[in-house]
Amino acid sequence: MKKIILLVFYLFTLSSFHLLYAQDAMKVLDIAAERIQKAGNVKIEYKASLFAGATEKASTSGTMWLQESKMKLDVDGMITWYDGKTRWLYVPSTNEVSIDEPSKKEMAALNPYTFMGIYKKGFKMTVKETVLRGEAVYEVYLRAKYAKMDVKEVYVDIRKSDYQPLCIRVREDNDWQRVSVHSFQGNLNLGDNFFSFPEKDYPNVLVNDMR
């Protein structure tokens, strides 16, 4: 009987520990998400990589500017403007700009911070303290509760000093995607025209309108 009582006590304290751990992880993500939102218009310099297991298949570096649903993206000279409805993609090698109206889901896939808005439902989570690129971070680990979910696992490394996400790793099926954030600037003064294609700067461009 005494052993049974001790076992029940152990299971209760263990489950309480996991509950506290999940609450701590949620708190870290909540603070990080709030600070990103308060940063307003932001500029992010990053490196994105695609992995098959532990093997890096492809990578690219770029700069991104964000204003709510609007986005500008510069990757190796290929520039994307998105004003919340219309997207322009300029390819310098052909001096051509393609115009379309992508879905919000399609554009969200380009934003490394998209996950910061969907973590509250459908994930089990834990957090631990570790070091990334010489800086103390919270490493939040999330695992999907349901097999039908597209995102299966996520790691988010958040700097302890200011709750800035430094690295986000996402697994869909067997492939991992990693976005490493190397620079973050907030509260920038970006006008609405910043997120639209500046026609006057490209007078001889070829236009491919797919709307």
pLDDT value at position 116? 64
Decide if pLDDT at 195 tops 90: yes
CA dist., res. 64 & res. 42, Å (int): 8
37-144-171 Cα angle (round to 5): 80
pLDDT value at position 12? 36
CA dist., res. 45 & res. 85, Å (int): 24
pLDDT value at position 112? 65
Mean pLDDT of the chain: 83
Segment 92-150, tens digit of pLDDT: 999 999 999 998 777 777 776 666 667 778 899 999 999 999 999 999 999 999 888 88
Length of the chain: 211
Q: Are 116 and 165 in contact (CB under 8 A)?
A: yes
**Average pLDDT over every residue of 48-66:** 88
| pLDDT over 70 percentage in the chain | 86
* Residue 86 pLDDT class (50, 70, 90 cuts): very high
Which range scores top for mean pLDDT: 77-86, 101-110, 112-121, 167-176?
A: 77-86
Decide if pLDDT at 65 tops 90: yes
* Residue 28 pLDDT class (50, 70, 90 cuts): very high
Look at 72 and 117; give whichever has higher pLDDT. 72
Lowest pLDDT segment from 46-60, 71-85, 115-129: 115-129
DSSP states of 85-119:
S-EEEEETTTTEEEEE---HHHHHTT-TTGGGGTT
**Domain 2-209, second-level architecture:** Clam (2.50)
**Average pLDDT over every residue of 160-172:** 91
pLDDT value at position 67? 86
- Residue 134's identity, in one-letter code, is G
H or E element at residue 24? helix 2-38
**Average pLDDT over every residue of 40-68:** 88
Look at 9 and 43; give whichever has higher pLDDT. 43
pLDDT value at position 82? 93
> For the chain, what are the domain ranges?
2-209
Decide if pLDDT at 11 tops 60: no
